[in-house]
Amino acid sequence: MDVIIIGAGAAGLMCALTAAQRGRKVLVIDHANKAGKKILMSGGGRCNFTNLYTEPSNFISNNPHFCKSALARYTQWDFLEMVQRHQIAYHEKKLGQLFCDNKASDILEMLLKECADAGATIQLNTPVTRIQANDSGFTLQCNKQTLQCKSLVIASGGLSIPTLGATGYGYQVAEQFGHRILPTRAGLVPFTITDPQLKEFCSALSGTSINDCVVQCNGQSFKEDLLFTHRGLSGPVILQISSYWQPGDSIEIDLLSDRDASVWLLEQQAQHSNLELKTVLSECFTRKMAQLLCEHWFSNTPLKQYNSKQLSAIGEQLNHWRLTPSGTEGYRTAEVTLGGIDTQEVSSKTMQSQKQDNLYFIGEVLDVSGHLGGFNFQWAWASGHAAGLVV
Ligand SMILES: Cc1cc2nc3c(=O)[nH]c(=O)nc-3n(C[C@H](O)[C@H](O)[C@H](O)COP(=O)(O)OP(=O)(O)OC[C@H]3O[C@@H](n4cnc5c(N)ncnc54)[C@H](O)[C@@H]3O)c2cc1C
């Protein structure tokens, strides 16, 4: 075999089809019973397969320049060309996020067809127990089978969602060949809250979402929708900021990002002084949320009974709600793993290890994580393609 790829996920399949199209003999092996399980689960079953506005700044890495070369050589437009060639119906949901009109399986079937047409073989239910480098490449021990290849590509992904087949195997292989692993943690993940009062507030609002909240943490900010859950906070804006959050950090939420809430409340007081605060707040929030805000944070009396200092304090709280999440939901639900194989020891052009010839790392196993919005798949396509051109 010319090339063995461990991991039949997004990056592995892209690498396989690219290498096989060059005439390389390619075998993809995966311990799972199905290829591309995460693709099937992605984007709520519709796969947010890329983003029209992909830029290196959409990625988090200890080495922010690393992703640039691969992203420039295989762009969102290149992937879109393949999607269009396969006549897959898609749409832009918002913010450049492209989703399938029908099912995520359209994307997986496209990749599997490209692999089959190019002659790449996929072997499932194949856990690797041992890898050895030798003069002609690598020998892999898989149960009773011994496999031989010239180039070995590690595309086994990160730790998020073990029930979808995620393992730390890629890190183990990297360490075997002397690579450094940067600390890993869950990213694009909901926050949990244990403070009893705050938890009760969130839980009572479970299922309620607020459009266009601005959330800030550690100098980063995102503006998207926020969702209350039984255990804490979720929604796109929370998933985005979670990738910048470290345990113990507080976050700041602007629940009314379209206005200066203090000024607005003072205006309301001038115009409708007999209205209760709850009634005024229900102009911007659901009635239930307005009620709970009054119960948990403010009192509920007619606006005329507040002095301007009190109204300003209420507005301040709505625009600058500071809280400290207790933790995250962890790898059980995280969309991505932050950290991973240190990219300082990998070629940004070919994804080849600088420690071991003919060994390659692609996709999420590397210390490159995208923002929410199709960026993680674009990284899988781009890094898979970069390696596929040279293996
Ligand atoms: C629920 C969910 C929804 C998501 N939605 C989106 C989205 O809409 N858009 C987006 O851009 N990103 C999304 N992501 C992130 C995206 O799925 C990943 O970033 C991407 O799949 C990473 O590709 P990969 O090929 O590196 O790894 P994976 O796709 O995880 O593939 C790794 C493969 O390696 C195999 N493997 C693992 N260990 C071993 C082993 N020891 N031996 C053999 N095989 C092994 C696994 O079975 C798997 O098939 C989502 C993630 C999740 C969890």
Distance spanning both ends of the chain, measured CA to CA: 11
Which token pair is 266? Answer: 């003072």
pLDDT tens profile 97-110: 999 999 999 999 99
Task: Compute the distance between CA of residue 336 and CA of residue 246 in angstroms, rounded to an integer.
Answer: 15
Query: Within its chain, how far is the Cα of 12 from the centroid?
Result: 18
Q: Tell me the best of 52, 80, 335, 369 to mutate to test the pocket of ligand 1, counting ligand atoms within 8 Å of each CB and taking the most.
A: 335
Task: Map residue 61 onto helix, strand or coil.
Answer: coil
Rg of the Cα atoms in the chain: 24
Is the C-beta atom of 31 inside 6 A of ligand 1? yes
Give, in order, the Cα–Cα distances in Å from 77 to each of 39, 101, 238, 370. 19, 18, 28, 17
Is the C-beta atom of 41 inside 6 A of ligand 1? yes
Task: Compute the distance between CA of residue 381 and CA of residue 9 in angstroms, rounded to an integer.
Answer: 10
- 48 and 178 within one domain: yes
Q: In the listed set 308, 328, 348, which residue is the last one of a domain according to the structure?
A: 328
Is the C-beta atom of 236 inside 6 A of ligand 1? no
> What distance in angstroms lies between residue 265's CA and the mean position of ligand 1's atoms?
47
Query: What pLDDT score does 49 carry?
Result: 98
- 180 and 113 within one domain: yes
Is the C-beta atom of 255 inside 6 A of ligand 1? no
- 213 and 147 within one domain: no
Containing structural domain, residue 225: 191-328
Q: pLDDT exceeding 90 applies to what percent of the chain?
A: 97
Bridge partners for 134 per DSSP = 137
Bridge partners for 181 per DSSP = 341
- 153 and 12 within one domain: yes
**pLDDT tier at 83 (50, 70, 90 boundaries)?**
very high
Query: What pLDDT score does 157 carry?
Result: 97
Give, in order, the Cα–Cα distances in Å from 190 to each of 77, 256, 285, 332, 335. 31, 21, 22, 11, 10
Is the C-beta atom of 294 inside 6 A of ligand 1? no
Task: Map residue 261 onto helix, strand or coil.
Answer: helix
Average pLDDT over residues 228-243: 98
Length of the chain, in residues: 391
pLDDT tens profile 169-191: 999 999 999 999 999 999 999 99
Which stretches within the chain are classed as H helix?
Answer: 10-21, 37-41, 67-73, 76-85, 105-118, 169-176, 196-204, 236-242, 261-271, 277-281, 287-296, 308-319, 375-388
Query: What pLDDT score does 107 carry?
Result: 98
pTM (2 d.p.): 0.97
Average pLDDT over residues 211-218: 97
- 196 and 171 within one domain: no
Q: How many domains is the chain built from? A: 2
Cβ neighbours for 122, distance < 8 A, ≥ 6 positions apart = 8, 16, 27, 28, 29, 30, 35, 112, 115
CATH number, domain at 168?
A: 3.50.50.60
Which residue's alpha carbon is nearest to atom 53 within ligand 1?
335
- 178 and 201 within one domain: no
Phi, psi torsion values for 386, nearest 5 degrees: -55, -45
Average pLDDT over residues 49-70: 98
- 371 and 343 within one domain: yes
Average pLDDT over residues 65-85: 98
Whether the CB-CB separation of 76 and 52 falls below 8 Å is answered with yes
- Which atom of ligand 1 is closest in space to residue 35's alpha carbon? 49
Query: What pLDDT score does 298 carry?
Result: 87
- 275 and 139 within one domain: no
> What distance in angstroms lies between residue 51's CA and the mean position of ligand 1's atoms?
17
Which residue reads 């010839």 in tokens?
Answer: 357
Average pLDDT over residues 225-239: 98
Query: What pLDDT score does 127 carry?
Result: 95
Residue 376 has pLDDT above 90, yes or no: yes
- 318 and 205 within one domain: yes
> What distance in angstroms lies between residue 319's CA and the mean position of ligand 1's atoms?
37
Query: What pLDDT score does 166 carry?
Result: 93
- 150 and 30 within one domain: yes
Q: Is the dihedral of CA 32, 156, 170, 49 positive or negative?
A: negative
Query: What pLDDT score does 384 carry?
Result: 98
Query: What pLDDT score does 143 carry?
Result: 83
Least reliable range by pLDDT among 265-269, 296-300, 365-369: 296-300
Residue 144 has pLDDT above 90, yes or no: no
Give, in order, the Cα–Cα distances in Å from 107 to each of 79, 375, 386. 10, 15, 20
Q: In the listed set 328, 353, 377, which residue is the last one of a domain according to the structure?
A: 328
Q: What is the mean pLDDT of the chain?
A: 97
CATH number, domain at 290?
A: 2.40.30.10
- 264 and 128 within one domain: no
Q: In the listed set 284, 308, 328, which residue is the last one of a domain according to the structure?
A: 328
Query: Within its chain, how far is the Cα of 241 from the centroid?
Result: 11
**The one-letter amino acid at 95:** L
> What distance in angstroms lies between residue 77's CA and the mean position of ligand 1's atoms?
22
- 98 and 40 within one domain: yes
pLDDT tens profile 272-330: 999 999 999 999 999 999 999 999 888 889 999 999 999 999 999 999 999 999 999 99
Is the C-beta atom of 100 inside 6 A of ligand 1? no
